[in-house]
């Protein structure tokens, strides 16, 4: 998915924002002040892989029988063993991760990275036989990009809700537990363009462009008194009611941006990272998030959620190169981000995790694969019980002998039938974040039918 095109918002070329109107609208009601630091801090960082990542090649079984079934099913898009980086699950045995991700291989071995197998949106626990029951509730428009992107971010299995589960979790942390009361700095921040994931009922999602500190042009007038006069005039303009609601909203956005500018400028200059971030769009996003996390103590923020993204995973063709190219960016950027949290001393308090539209078919379609359902996801952080694969990894031999008698696959093309619901995934993250069990059903409306509410991958 592409970001909104940057536009220029100015008052006679005085103010150069370089941000979208949606970003500014999100800033319109903010006030900036820093008070006493909270007693503790935690952040959730969602990395969305837009297009539907083919996780059949993210994690591959190396057991000889399972690997033989994998290569038979995958055809030309299967990975040879020479392109698989070995990892070991203490229970399930040997697997390989995609050769583009040596950093993730190392973090798995260090116990900082976990994989959650076969996750997807579910209304309730679903068996293969349920799929032929016309009365059985299934998520709306499975395998549709737009619907599944929305459902993964909202936690609803239909398109009827305008809040995201990250934003709703922030609602709980602020409204029930009183976090962030000492600061009105943004607490639900998306990179580049607004994200539904960050939208709460009361918490307002904000979008920020990496590297854009909302600097202004036109202040270098001579003499200095002229420059000061311009600044004073602008401040008067943006803080004076005009009698026009639209103008007042725009002025409020500008006033908030004026206050945000020194904070963003400080964030970008405050730290030299010992492990440099890659010079990629995703590297820039995660670097900006690390910069902002580095300011949390002085800004009085106790809980934050962030949203970063990378597109291009709709690999109907050319998958071998395209997925390598994208997963390399993911691995390098996440590795640098984790190192940044270690450097900041908050690795135990920051958890990153992946989402995607859906998984893809095990069976190839030419040089690519088609839309699926369940997918494997990664969770990274100092609080992660890493070095393990959670959930239920589908057996490749169950696809090889597909006869409608097992629940690993939804059809004969190798679409994974999710064994873990998005609600369980999100609830585990939200519980670690501080939400109580009493709030989880409200945060994730499809959670109640599932007996397991904590999947165990976090301390």
Give the pLDDT confidence of 354-367 residue by residue, as tens digits: 999 999 999 999 99
pLDDT of residue 64: 98
Is the pLDDT score of 86 beyond 80?
A: yes
- When pLDDT is cut at 50, 70 and 90, the band that residue 403 belongs to is confident
Distance between CA atoms of 144 and 159, rounded to whole angstroms?
12
Q: What is the mean pLDDT of the chain?
A: 87
Match 């311009």 to its residue by tokens. 230
| C-alpha to C-alpha distance for 8 and 18, rounded to whole angstroms | 5
pTM: 0.88
Helix (H, G, I), strand (E, B) or coil at 171: helix
pLDDT band at residue 258, thresholds of 50, 70 and 90? low
pLDDT for 299 beyond 70 = yes
Long-range interactions of 411-414: CB distance < 8 A, separation 24+? 412/363, 413/361, 413/362, 413/363, 413/370, 414/56, 414/73, 414/361, 414/362, 414/363, 414/372
Distance CA 331, CA 322 (A): 14
In which band, very low, low, confident or very high, does the pLDDT at 18 lie, cut at 50, 70 and 90?
very low
Q: What percent of the chain lies above the pLDDT cut of 90?
A: 73
For the segment 130-162, what is each residue's pLDDT rounded down to a tens digit?
999 999 999 999 999 999 999 999 999 986 679
How many residues make up the chain in this entry?
A: 459
Strands 42-49 and 360-365: unpaired
> Of the ranges 241-250, 289-298, 343-352, which one carries the lowest mean pLDDT score?
241-250
For the segment 431-449, the average pLDDT, to the nearest whole number, is 97
Rounded Cα–Cα distance for residues 364 and 322 (Å) = 15
- Cβ pair 407, 419 in contact under 8 A: yes
pLDDT score of 36? 46
Query: What long-range pairs does 72-79 form, CB within 8 A, spacing at least 24?
Result: 72/400, 73/362, 73/363, 73/396, 73/399, 73/400, 73/414, 74/362, 74/363, 74/364, 75/363, 75/364, 76/320, 76/364, 76/367, 77/319, 77/320, 77/364, 77/367, 77/368, 77/369
- What is the number of other CB atoms lying within 10 angstroms of the CB of residue 111? 13
Q: What is the mean pLDDT of residues 254-268?
A: 61
Residues 313 and 323: their CA atoms lie apart, in Å, by 7
What pLDDT shows up at residue 254?
A: 56
Confidence of residue 248 (pLDDT cuts 50, 70, 90): low
pLDDT one-digit tens code per residue, 92-109: 999 999 999 999 999 999
Measured CA to CA, the distance from residue 414 to residue 373 in angstroms comes to 10
Q: Which ranges in 270-377 belong to alpha helices (H)?
A: 281-293, 296-299, 319-344
User: Which residue would you say has higher pLDDT here, 17 or 382?
Assistant: 382
Structure tokens at 300: 């009085």
- Are 289 and 301 in contact, with CB atoms under 8 Å apart? no
- Angstrom CA distances, 292 to 83, 130, 160, 167, stand at 36, 46, 32, 18
């Amino acid at each position: 998915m592409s970001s909104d095109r940057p536009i220029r918002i100015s008052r006679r070329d005085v103010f150069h924002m370089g941000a979208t109107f949606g970003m500014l609208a999100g800033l319109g009601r903010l006030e900036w002040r820093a008070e006493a630091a909270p007693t503790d801090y935690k952040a959730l960082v969602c990395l969305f892989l837009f297009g539907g990542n083919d996780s059949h090649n993210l994690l591959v079984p190396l057991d000889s029988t399972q690997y033989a079934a994998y290569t038979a099913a995958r055809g030309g898009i299967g990975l040879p063993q020479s392109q698989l980086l070995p990892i070991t699950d203490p229970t399930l045995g040997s697997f390989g991760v995609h050769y583009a991700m040596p950093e993730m291989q190392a973090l798995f071995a260090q116990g900082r990275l976990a994989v959650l197998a076969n996750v997807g949106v579910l209304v309730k626990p679903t068996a293969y036989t349920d799929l032929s029951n016309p009365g059985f509730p299934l998520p709306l428009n499975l395998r549709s990009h737009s619907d599944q992107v929305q459902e993964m971010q909202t936690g609803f299995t239909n398109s009827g809700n305008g809040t995201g589960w990250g934003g709703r979790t922030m609602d709980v942390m602020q409204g029930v537990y009183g976090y962030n009361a000492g600061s009105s700095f943004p607490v639900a921040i998306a990179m580049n363009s607004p994200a539904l994931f960050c939208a709460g009922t009361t918490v307002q999602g904000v979008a920020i462009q990496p590297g854009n500190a909302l600097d202004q042009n036109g202040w270098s007038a001579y003499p200095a008194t002229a420059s000061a006069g311009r600044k004073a005039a602008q401040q008067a303009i943006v803080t004076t009611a005009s009698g026009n609601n639209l103008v007042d909203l725009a002025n409020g956005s500008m006033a908030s941006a004026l206050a945000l500018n020194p904070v963003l400028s400080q964030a970008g200059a405050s730290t030299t990272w010992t492990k440099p971030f890659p010079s990629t769009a995703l590297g820039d996003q995660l670097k900006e998030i690390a910069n902002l996390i580095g300011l949390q103590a002085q800004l009085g923020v106790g809980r934050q959620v962030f949203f970063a993204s990378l597109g291009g995973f709709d690999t109907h063709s050319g998958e071998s190169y395209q997925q390598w190219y994208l997963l390399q960016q993911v691995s390098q950027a996440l590795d640098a981000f984790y190192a940044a949290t270690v450097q900041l001393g908050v690795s135990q308090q920051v958890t990153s995790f992946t989402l995607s539209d859906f998984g893809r078919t095990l069976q190839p379609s030419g040089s690519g694969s088609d839309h699926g359902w369940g997918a494997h996801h990664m969770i990274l952080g100092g609080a992660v019980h890493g070095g393990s694969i959670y959930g239920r990894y589908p057996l490749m031999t169950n696809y090889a002998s597909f006869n409608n008698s097992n629940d690993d696959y939804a059809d004969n093309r190798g679409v994974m039938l999710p064994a873990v619901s998005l609600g369980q995934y999100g609830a585990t993250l939200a519980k670690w974040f501080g939400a109580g069990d009493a709030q989880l059903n409200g945060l994730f409306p499809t959670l109640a039918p599932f007996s397991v509410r904590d999947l165990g991958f976090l301390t």
